[in-house]
Structure 1
């Protein structure tokens, strides 16, 4: 420890703003770029096909963005508690603050916000990330927090997830997070294949792959939710207990998975009951009608005339009409 303003321990680094994930922002920017590019070419699509294309592309981009983005979010499971707690080691100073815990697939995010923010001549507004992804060591990041002199509530929560903690939270959340992330990437691959199949006259197979996408998203949720059934360690701040519930990313993934199920079932039923309307939705009916006109009305007499020198001339004439 080094003396900092006469108080042990110290925190020389500038306090972080609320968690800003660069990877998550890159994912959002990429999918927004795709969406904006499509909106620029949307006016060039004629007739009712414009609405059909808009619904298809925006829905597909939304599903893909959710599948990728939730791998980098930190709110699969969240919990908050407001309590009076000690602030620093070797000090009896007590502060009133809100302690927050956010668990994601790649680690935990712990926040400490004073109520009010300025207490005991300090700004109590911390946001710390501890990761267990491949290539990182959670215990090393925790030890780094000890060296920096993070406040007691943050270190107390972070210690619960260390490998040597008797709570065993590290292995529970780390393994379930790795499996959940892996199944989400498989769902992303299935989403890509479904888009390829939907762009071809193979709608039923695209619907099947959409159901596969939904299945792997549900598998991911099941993998993460198994932690809730495991014996949990009590997280106590004085007389107050911090309890966690599923967060926004969990429910967003569930809603998107159910949306994929709905899309797959609707496409399969439409292929059985009303295939013509399904073709119209995918903008194939106009192309088929043109082919029929070409096959039925082009004959050698027309091809010998000056008006229609080739089937292509006749097809272009039909389009202009």
Structure 2
């Protein structure tokens, strides 16, 4: 990279566009480990219970990994635009680049990709991504100042400046508050999901269904909290004559899908509890447990005195008339 007045205006090393976050990979690996551990038990289960057990485990793990993963993803809201913009500071050269904005619950990712033209003007490949966090333990403005000192590409700095606290747009305040409420509500949904799994392992299935309904409700509340940003006036992010527009991303729709699945599963459990309790207990493998418990209670409380005399436990013994 060429020097400009003796100073490197950009990275000493190129930053690549992110594919997966480390936290997301960690969560996925942990849940995959749980799934593999449970699936190893399947050969020891016989009959239809094997199918029911597999469906329950995979469905619960899918909901759990979805609730936790969307906390760390950066595509709750995304947008791309192709624009002709200046790339280097103090340089009149214009390049054609794809500029992307990815909003998550913990910050924003701003990407700049080469559009395939005019690379000879800057003598490098445009492929950068920068993350600007706004969590409680991170200072967005400080990260932005560090970006200025390092000399980030101008499209990244232009978009990042819209989210600073000094910007008249107040976009960071709007996104940060809604994201914090959405994140807190999702953690409550994760807690209710754990409680539902504990209740489904006991003969109180209807309460597990209620907890699934509560999980779905909290997930929908998190979506409503995040979507309040759309109702606020927003500054336009313009590059010449084109404007960067954003829409809901994959994490938003994944959260909506899991919330609806929780509603469907919870309503199904509650309905079967009142309409067909035997089928519900069969699906959760509780009928055999009750039969074994009844057999153990019968054997434990059978009076051997009546059995030896050939009388049933319900038949009262005859009184001896010689006994006064």
Q: Structure 1-normalised TM-score?
A: 0.89
Residue of structure 2 equivalent to 1:283: 285
- How far residue 172 of structure 1 moved from its aligned partner, in angstroms, is 0.2
- How far residue 11 of structure 1 moved from its aligned partner, in angstroms, is 1.8
Do 2:237 and 2:243's aligned partners in 1 also have CA atoms closer than 8 Å? yes
- How far residue 294 of structure 1 moved from its aligned partner, in angstroms, is 5.3
Residue of structure 2 equivalent to 1:78: 78
Can you list the C-alpha shifts for 1:32-64, whole angstroms capped at 9, x where unaligned?
000011111111111110111111111101101
Aligned length: 304
Q: Distance in 1 between matches of 2:233 and 2:171?
A: 9
Q: Distance in 2 between matches of 1:91 and 1:277?
A: 72
Which one of the candidate residues 175, 178, 182 is aligned to 1:176? 178
Q: Does 1:264 align with 2:258?
A: no
Do 2:17 and 2:111's aligned partners in 1 also have CA atoms closer than 8 Å? no
Do 1:236 and 1:242's aligned partners in 2 also have CA atoms closer than 8 Å? yes
- How far residue 288 of structure 1 moved from its aligned partner, in angstroms, is 2.2
Do 2:88 and 2:153's aligned partners in 1 also have CA atoms closer than 8 Å? yes
Q: Does 1:132 align with 2:128?
A: no
Residue of structure 1 equivalent to 2:227: 225
Compared CA separation, residues 239 and 296, structure 1 to 2 (3 A): same
Residue of structure 2 equivalent to 1:310: none
Structure 2 runs not aligned, ≥5 long: 309-324
With 162-171 and 37-46 compared, the bigger mean Cα shift is at 37-46
Residue of structure 1 equivalent to 2:112: 112
Q: Does 1:34 align with 2:34?
A: yes
Match of 2:92, SS state, is coil
With 109-118 and 56-65 compared, the bigger mean Cα shift is at 109-118
Residue of structure 1 equivalent to 2:64: 64
The structure that has the greater radius of gyration is 2
Cα RMSD of the aligned pairs, angstroms, is 2.3
Residue of structure 1 equivalent to 2:24: 24
Q: Distance in 2 between matches of 1:9 and 1:29?
A: 39
Residue of structure 2 equivalent to 1:239: 241
- How far residue 290 of structure 1 moved from its aligned partner, in angstroms, is 3.3
Q: Distance in 2 between matches of 1:8 and 1:30?
A: 42
Which one of the candidate residues 195, 198, 203 is aligned to 2:197? 195
- How far residue 284 of structure 1 moved from its aligned partner, in angstroms, is 1.0
Q: Distance in 2 between matches of 1:213 and 1:105?
A: 19
Structure 1 runs not aligned, ≥5 long: 306-321
- How far residue 295 of structure 1 moved from its aligned partner, in angstroms, is 5.6
Do 1:3 and 1:10's aligned partners in 2 also have CA atoms closer than 8 Å? no
Can you list the C-alpha shifts for 1:85-121, whole angstroms capped at 9, x where unaligned?
1101100111111000000000000100011285431
Match of 1:91, SS state, is coil
Do 1:8 and 1:90's aligned partners in 2 also have CA atoms closer than 8 Å? no
Residue of structure 2 equivalent to 1:90: 90
Q: Distance in 2 between matches of 1:249 and 1:20?
A: 13
Q: Structure 2-normalised TM-score?
A: 0.88
- How far residue 253 of structure 1 moved from its aligned partner, in angstroms, is 0.1
Residue of structure 2 equivalent to 1:317: none
Match of 2:113, SS state, is strand
Residue of structure 1 equivalent to 2:48: 48
Can you list the C-alpha shifts for 1:58-77, whole angstroms capped at 9, x where unaligned?
11011010111000000000
Moved over 3 A (4+): 2-8, 290-301
Can you list the C-alpha shifts for 1:170-191, whole angstroms capped at 9, x where unaligned?
1000011111000100111111
- How far residue 16 of structure 1 moved from its aligned partner, in angstroms, is 3.0
